[in-house]
Amino acid sequence: MSQKHQSLTARVGDRDLHIETGKYAKLADGAALVTMGETIILVTAVSATKVKDGQDFFPLTVEYKEKAAAAGRIPGSYFRREGRPTEKEILTCRMVDRPLRPLFPKGYYFDTQVIAILLSTDGLNDPDILTINGASAALMVSDIPWAGPVAGVRVARIQGRFVANPTHPEIAESDLDLVYVGTEHEALMIEGSGKELPETEFKAALEFAHQAIQPIIKIQKELAASCGKPKRQPALMLVKDELLEIAYQVAGTRIEAAIYQPSKVARYQAVEALREEVKAKILEKFSTATPFEISQAFDYLQKKAFRTSILDKNKRCDGRPADQVRNLSGEVGFLPRSATSPGRWVSSLAPMAPPSSPGAKPRLSVWPPWDPWKRPRRSTPIPVAKAPSVLSSTTISLPFQWVKPVVLAGKTAGKSVTAPLRSAPLSR
Three-state SS for 149-162 is: CCEEEEEEEECCEE
Alpha helices in 185-213 (DSSP H): 199-212
Is the C-alpha dihedral spanning 372, 375, 381, 386 positive or negative?
negative
**Nearest CA-CA partner of 380 in 339, 337, 348:** 348
pLDDT for the residue 366:
52
Distance CA 73, CA 373 (A): 17
* 6-227 under CATH 3.30.565.10, yes or no: no
On the question of pLDDT at 253 being above 50, the answer is yes
pLDDT tens per residue across span 69-100: 888 887 776 667 777 888 889 999 999 999 99
Average pLDDT along the chain: 82
Looking at residue 1, its pLDDT comes to: 53
pLDDT at 340: 53
Q: What is the pLDDT of residue 380?
A: 38
Asked if 401 and 375 count as a contact pair (C-beta separation under 8 A), the reply is yes
Mean pLDDT on 43-71 = 91
Is there a contact between 68 and 89 (Cβ–Cβ < 8 Å)? no
The domain made up of 241-312 has a fold known as Arc Repressor Mutant, subunit A (1.10.10)
Q: What is the pLDDT of residue 31?
A: 96
Residues 6 or more apart whose Cβ sits within 8 Å of residue 121 = 38, 39, 40, 66, 70, 71, 127, 367, 368
Task: Tell which phi-psi region holds residue 133, choosing left (phi > 0), alpha (psi between -120 and 50) or beta.
Answer: alpha
Phi and psi, residue 420, nearest 5°: -75, 130
- Residue 408, pLDDT > 90, answer no
* Rounded Cα distance, 95 and 107, in Å: 23
- Arithmetic mean of pLDDT, 169-190: 94
pLDDT tier, 187 (very low <50, low <70, confident <90, very high otherwise): very high
CA–CA gap between residue 345 and residue 348 (Å, rounded): 4
Confidence label for 264 from pLDDT (cuts 50, 70 and 90): confident
pLDDT range class, residue 352, cuts 50, 70, 90: low
pLDDT at 389: 46
More confident residue, 189 or 288: 189
SS3 state of residue 220: helix
Q: According to the model, what pLDDT value does residue 421 have?
A: 46
pLDDT value for 386? 42
Return the domain boundaries, the chain.
6-227, 241-312, 330-420
State pLDDT tens for residues 353-390.
666 566 665 555 555 544 444 444 443 333 334 444 45
For the entire predicted model, the pTM comes to 0.80
Mean pLDDT of 174-201: 93
Q: What integer is the mean pLDDT of 230-238?
A: 92
What percentage of the chain reaches a pLDDT higher than 70? 76
Half-sphere exposure of 428 (CA within 13 A, CB side): 13
C-alpha dihedral sign at 399, 397, 115, 42 = positive
Mean pLDDT of the 161-165 span: 96
